[in-house]
Structure 1
Amino acid sequence: MSTAALTAVLLSLVSAVAYAAAAVAQERLASKNSGAGLIRLLGSGAWWAAVGLNAGAALLHVVALKYGPLTLVQPLGALTLVAAVPMGARVAGRRVSATEWRGTALTLLGLGALLVTASGPAPHRVLSLTDAVAVAGTTAALIGVLSRPGTRPGLRHATASGFASGVASALTQTVTVSATDRSGPALSVQVVVVALLVAAFAVGGLLLSQTAYRGGLGAPLAVVTLSNPMAAAVIGLTLLGQGLQGGAAGILLALAGAGLASWGVVLLTRVTPAKPVVELEPDEEHPVAAVLALESARVAAEQALLPRQKPESEHLTTL
C-alpha cells in the first residue's frame, strides 16, 4: 500500500469514528424529539454538537479524498456503523450482543478485502462541470422521489441520505483536486459551482439522516452506510476511471469483500436491543397495592357512615 493510500485510510478511520459519534447523538436527539421541526432543532445545543461532529468528520473525509480514490475511501465509511454499535450500546446502558460482534467481524473482513483491491494511486482525474451538474441533477431527482412529502420517515430517507453523502464526496474530490492543482486557477468557475453543490448535498444528507433516525439507529445507519459508497463507486468507476487492482482476481476479491461487508451490516441491522427494565421508584406504588389501598379506604368510609351502636353492657345498666 502506497503512502498516499495509507494516509487516506488513517484519515478515514478517524472520520468514521467522528461520524459514528454524530450518528449516536442524532439518534438520541431524534428519539427525544420525534416531532420536532427544523426550527426547534436549531435551538438545541445537542443538535449543534452533532453538526460539529459531522463537520469535523467531513473535513477529515475531504483530506482523505485528496490522497485516496473514491473506491478506497468510501467503503471505509462502513466503519461508521462498526464504531456506532459499541457507542450506541454504551449510551443505552447495555452490552454488545454476540450477533453484533459477528456483524462487526464480517464487516471488517470484507473491508480488508476491499482495501487490497482498491488501494490505487492518488486521484488525478476530476469531474467536468457538465458531468458534475448532470450527476447533481440526477441525484436530486432521485432524492426527491425517495423523500417525497407524506413518506413515512425511515429507510427511504436513509437511502436518500446515503446517495446525497456519496455524491457530495465525489464532488468534494473534484473540488479538492482541482483547487490544489497548480496548473490552473484555484477558484475557477468549476470549483465554485461544484463547491456550492457539495454544500447543498452535504446539508441535505445531514437533514435526511436526522429524519431517518426517528425510527432508530441500526437499520437507517446501515442503509446510509451501504448506499453512500454505492453512489460514490458508480461515479468513480464510470466517470473518473478509478478501477480496481489485480485484474480479474482483484475483481473477485472485491466482490467477496463486498459480500462479507454487506452480510456483516445486515447482521448489525437485525439486532433489536433489549429495552432496559424500568424499576419503580421508591415513592411509586405497585398497581396491586394501589387497588388494595383503595379497597381499604372504601371499607373505612362505609364503617364511618354506619350508625354507632351502644355497647351491650351500657344497655343493661339502663334497664
Structure 2
Amino acid sequence: MSATLAAVVLSLFSAVAYAAAAVAQERLASRSPGAGTLRLLTDGAWWWSVVLNASAALLHVAALKYGTLTLVQPLGALTLVAAVPLGARVAGRRVSAVEWRGTALTLIGLAALLVTASGPAPDDVLSVPQALAVAAATAVAIGALSRPGTRPGLRHATASGFASGVASALTQTVTVAATDRSDSLLSAQVVVVALLVAAFAAGGLLLSQTAYQGGLGAPLAVVTLANPLAAAVIGLSLLGERLQGGAAGVLLALVGAAVAAWGVVTLSRSAPEPLPVPVVHEDHPVAAVLALEPDSAAYEPSLVPRQPNSGHLTAL
C-alpha cells in the first residue's frame, strides 16, 4: 500500500470517529447549555465522546505518518460528510437532497486536492524554536477569538480549528522525529513539541464543545475549514511541502478547495424537515454515546443550528 493511499484510508476512519464524537458533543451541549467544564467532567456521556475523539486522533496521527499536512488536513472535511448520514440515522430520517448535493461538492473538491497534494511521506520537521513560535502566535489568535463578544459560536469554532490544525502539524513533527530520525522519545525536541500537542489538542476539544452550544452545523463547518487552513500555512511555509503540477496544480488546488468549502457550507446550512416523532435507534453502534437521556426522543439532532429563540447563532 502506497503512503498516499494509507494516509487517505486512515483519514477516512478518523473522520467517521470524529463525526460520531461531534454529534455526541452537540447533543450534550444542547441538553445542558452553558454547562461548565467541571460539569462536563462528571458526565459519562461526555467521556464517551472524549474516547471517540481520542480514537480518531490516534488514526489521524497514523495518517500524518504517511501523508503530508496539505494532504491529510483537508480530508478532515470528511468528518462533516460522515456526520450527515450518522445524524440522519440517529434522527430516524432520510438524507435530504441538499445534503447529498453538499456531500458531492465536498468529495469532488477533495478529489482535486488529493491530485495536487499527494506526495511522498513527510520528512521535514519543525525545530523547537519554530514550534514555540507557531504555538505563541496561535495562542494569541485563540485568545483574541475567545474574548466575549458577538458570534461566540463561530469565533470559538475558528479558535478550535486553529488549535486542532496546529496540533496536527506539531504531531507530525513528533511522529517523524521519533521514528524516521531515530531520535530518542525523551529528546528535547520530542518532549517539548509533545507537550504543545497535548495543550492544543485539549484546547481544541474544549473550544469545540463551547462552539457546539449553538448547534452543530455552522460551528463544525468553520472548524472543518479553519483546521486545514492553519495546517497548510505551516506545511507550505515551514515544512517545505509543495503542491504537485506547478502553476496548473496550484490552480487546481485552489478550485478544489473552493468547491470543497462550498460543499461544507452547503452541508452546514441544510435544513431537513423534522419527523413528527424522531426516534433514537437503540441498536445503533454509537447509541450508548448518543442516547444521553432515556426520554430524549423529543430531540432531533441536526446539522443545522436551532432557531433564533434559542439565543444562539443560527447561520454561518
Q: Same fold (TM over 0.5)?
A: yes
**Is 2:208 aligned against 1:209?**
yes
Q: How far apart are residue 41 of structure 1 and its match?
A: 0.9
Alignment partner, residue 163 of structure 2: 164
Of stretches 149-158 and 85-94 in structure 1, the one that deviates more from structure 2 is: 149-158
Q: How far apart are residue 89 of structure 1 and its match?
A: 2.0
**Distance in 2, Cα, partners of 1:202 & 1:22:** 14
Query: Which residue identity does 2:189 align to in structure 1?
Result: Q
Which digits, 9 at most, give the CA deviation of each residue in 1:245-269, with x for residues without a partner? 1111111111111111011111112
**Distance in 2, Cα, partners of 1:276 & 1:268:** 19
Which digits, 9 at most, give the CA deviation of each residue in 1:202-255, with x for residues without a partner? 000000000000111111101000000000000000000111111111111111
Which digits, 9 at most, give the CA deviation of each residue in 1:261-283, with x for residues without a partner? 0111111122124344369xxxx
Q: How far apart are residue 43 of structure 1 and its match?
A: 1.1
Q: How far apart are residue 90 of structure 1 and its match?
A: 2.1
Alignment partner, residue 140 of structure 2: 141
SS at match of 2:180: coil
Q: How far apart are residue 143 of structure 1 and its match?
A: 0.3
Alignment partner, residue 48 of structure 2: 49
**Distance in 2, Cα, partners of 1:189 & 1:260:** 41
- Between Structure 1 and Structure 2, how many residues are aligned? 278
Alignment partner, residue 245 of structure 1: 244
Q: How far apart are residue 189 of structure 1 and its match?
A: 0.6
Query: Which residue identity does 2:118 align to in structure 1?
Result: S
The within-5 A match list for 1:155-304 is: 155-277=154-276
Which digits, 9 at most, give the CA deviation of each residue in 1:35-78, with x for residues without a partner? 21111111111100000000000001001101110000000000
Alignment partner, residue 65 of structure 2: 66
Alignment partner, residue 79 of structure 1: 78
**Distance in 2, Cα, partners of 1:197 & 1:136:** 7
Which digits, 9 at most, give the CA deviation of each residue in 1:79-131, with x for residues without a partner? 00000011112222322211110000000000001001111111000001000
**Distance in 2, Cα, partners of 1:179 & 1:57:** 21
SS at match of 1:154: helix
**Distance in 2, Cα, partners of 1:83 & 1:18:** 9
Query: Which residue identity does 2:108 align to in structure 1?
Result: L
Of stretches 24-33 and 185-194 in structure 1, the one that deviates more from structure 2 is: 185-194
**Distance in 1, Cα, partners of 2:14 & 2:121:** 19
Query: Which residue identity does 1:253 align to in structure 2?
Result: L
Alignment partner, residue 296 of structure 2: none
Conservation of the 8 A alpha-carbon contact between 2:29 and 2:213: yes
Conservation of the 8 A alpha-carbon contact between 2:185 and 2:191: no
**Distance in 2, Cα, partners of 1:156 & 1:89:** 27
**Distance in 2, Cα, partners of 1:259 & 1:69:** 20
Q: How far apart are residue 151 of structure 1 and its match?
A: 5.8
Which digits, 9 at most, give the CA deviation of each residue in 1:164-212, with x for residues without a partner? 0000000000000011134433321111011000000000000000000
Of stretches 172-181 and 143-152 in structure 1, the one that deviates more from structure 2 is: 143-152
**Is 2:112 aligned against 1:120?**
no
Conservation of the 8 A alpha-carbon contact between 2:106 and 2:262: yes
**Distance in 1, Cα, partners of 2:178 & 2:11:** 21
**Distance in 1, Cα, partners of 2:150 & 2:198:** 25
Query: Which residue identity does 1:184 align to in structure 2?
Result: D
Alignment partner, residue 14 of structure 1: 13
Q: Given the superposition, is the C-alpha separation of residues 183 and 93 from structure 1 closer, same or farther in structure 2, using an over 3 Å criterion?
A: closer
Normalised TM-score (structure 2): 0.85
Query: Which residue identity does 2:69 align to in structure 1?
Result: L
**Distance in 2, Cα, partners of 1:49 & 1:42:** 11
Of stretches 11-20 and 247-256 in structure 1, the one that deviates more from structure 2 is: 247-256
SS at match of 2:186: coil
**Distance in 2, Cα, partners of 1:72 & 1:274:** 35
**Distance in 2, Cα, partners of 1:25 & 1:65:** 25
- Give the % identical residues: 78
**Distance in 2, Cα, partners of 1:186 & 1:157:** 33
**Distance in 2, Cα, partners of 1:184 & 1:267:** 45
Alignment partner, residue 103 of structure 1: 102
**Distance in 1, Cα, partners of 2:261 & 2:67:** 22
Q: How large is the Cα RMSD of the aligned pairs?
A: 1.5
**Is 2:38 aligned against 1:39?**
yes
**Distance in 1, Cα, partners of 2:205 & 2:183:** 32
Q: Given the superposition, is the C-alpha separation of residues 256 and 30 from structure 1 closer, same or farther in structure 2, using an over 3 Å criterion?
A: same
Of stretches 141-150 and 225-234 in structure 1, the one that deviates more from structure 2 is: 141-150
Which digits, 9 at most, give the CA deviation of each residue in 1:146-173, with x for residues without a partner? 0114666411000000000000000000
